[in-house]
Structure 1
Amino acid sequence: MGRNRRSRTHSNPKKNQATDIKTRRYKRDIDQIHEDMKDGGKKKFLEDLTKKDIEDLPGLAQHVCVACARYFADSAALSTHIRGKPHKRQLKKLEEEPYTIEESRRAVGLGVDKGEYGKRKEREAKEEEERRAKGEEAMEA
């Protein structure tokens, strides 16, 4: 009886490519798309478009779905996309307002309720300012 044969195959070579694939498929984030959907954001979207090679984009970037940040070869493909489920899901996501930095800070607990200690410090600082203002008025008079 000999020992069991070890596997002669190597690990999956596609495992190392996983991060490359993710970055290759990267589209614009939902908050960036939300800005593009606004009136002023369309201008920024077009500026970003001028930075890209238009020859590399499908249909020379004439048929664009701004909500999905995708380019299509012709108007038929664009109209099919607009009727499709992924486009409608994206529109539902865009109906919600994206999180702001202030909201994320409030969620963590920064800048929300300072508690009794914070309120007392604010009161003391305000009283100190009032004392200084009164002292300056007395010196001027």
Structure 2
Amino acid sequence: MGRNRRSRTPSNPKKNQATDIKMRRYKRDMDQIHEDMKDQGRAKFQEDLAKKDLEDIPGLAQHTCVACSRYFADAVSLETHLKGKPHKRRLKKLAEEPYTIEESRRAVGLGVDKGEYGRKKEREAQEEEERKKAGTTTAEAPMEA
């Protein structure tokens, strides 16, 4: 008894569909939706709608949920969506301020007090600027003891 031979057929084509399915389910990110919600989302939402083909959107984009970035076929399905848990969870998430680049820089330590070493570098830079304004260069500056 030998081992089973390897399959001569190519890999399962359904395995390759996973990324397509993920992109099909892709919704707008929370920070994008948060920007839309600031001015009730109408200005930017209308710009995005102008770029899309209205015949492809359910209900011709008349019934929309800006918070979930979804389109519905009729007003009844929109109302049931607004009463549902997924919509309410999304509203809770949108109530929080999104994480900004400035916050991430502060978390790393940029833009905060860097201790004595940072203050020393700032003082040196300030003294260098004063010397340049006075007209002397670093070579002509007196040496400190």
Q: TM-score, normalised by structure 2?
A: 0.80
Runs of 5+ in structure 1 lacking a partner?
Answer: 137-141
Q: 1:130 to 1:5 in 2, by over 3 A?
A: closer
Q: How much has 1:103 moved relative to structure 2?
A: 1.1
Matched with 2:94 is 94
User: Are 2:92 and 1:77 equivalent residues in the alignment?
Assistant: no
Matches of 2:102 and 2:52, distance apart in 1: 32
Matches of 1:41 and 1:113, distance apart in 2: 38
Matched with 1:34 is 34
Task: Tell me the secondary structure at the aligned position of residue 122 of structure 2.
Answer: helix
- Which amino acid in the other structure matches residue 4 of structure 2? R
Identity of matched residues, %: 75
Matched with 1:57 is 57
Q: How much has 1:42 moved relative to structure 2?
A: 2.6
Matches of 1:114 and 1:131, distance apart in 2: 25
Task: Tell me the secondary structure at the aligned position of residue 5 of structure 1.
Answer: coil
Matched with 1:5 is 4
Q: 1:62 to 1:110 in 2, by over 3 A?
A: same
Matches of 1:108 and 1:14, distance apart in 2: 42
Runs of 5+ in structure 2 lacking a partner?
Answer: 136-145
Q: How many residues align?
A: 134
Q: How much has 1:30 moved relative to structure 2?
A: 0.4
Matches of 2:41 and 2:72, distance apart in 1: 21
Please give the root-mean-square deviation of Cα atoms over the aligned residues, in Å: 2.2
Q: How much has 1:130 moved relative to structure 2?
A: 4.2
Does structure 1 conserve the Cα–Cα contact (< 8 Å) formed by 2:41 and 2:66? no
Does structure 1 conserve the Cα–Cα contact (< 8 Å) formed by 2:106 and 2:112? yes
Deviations 1:8-43 (A, max 9, x none): 586543221111111111111100000000117431
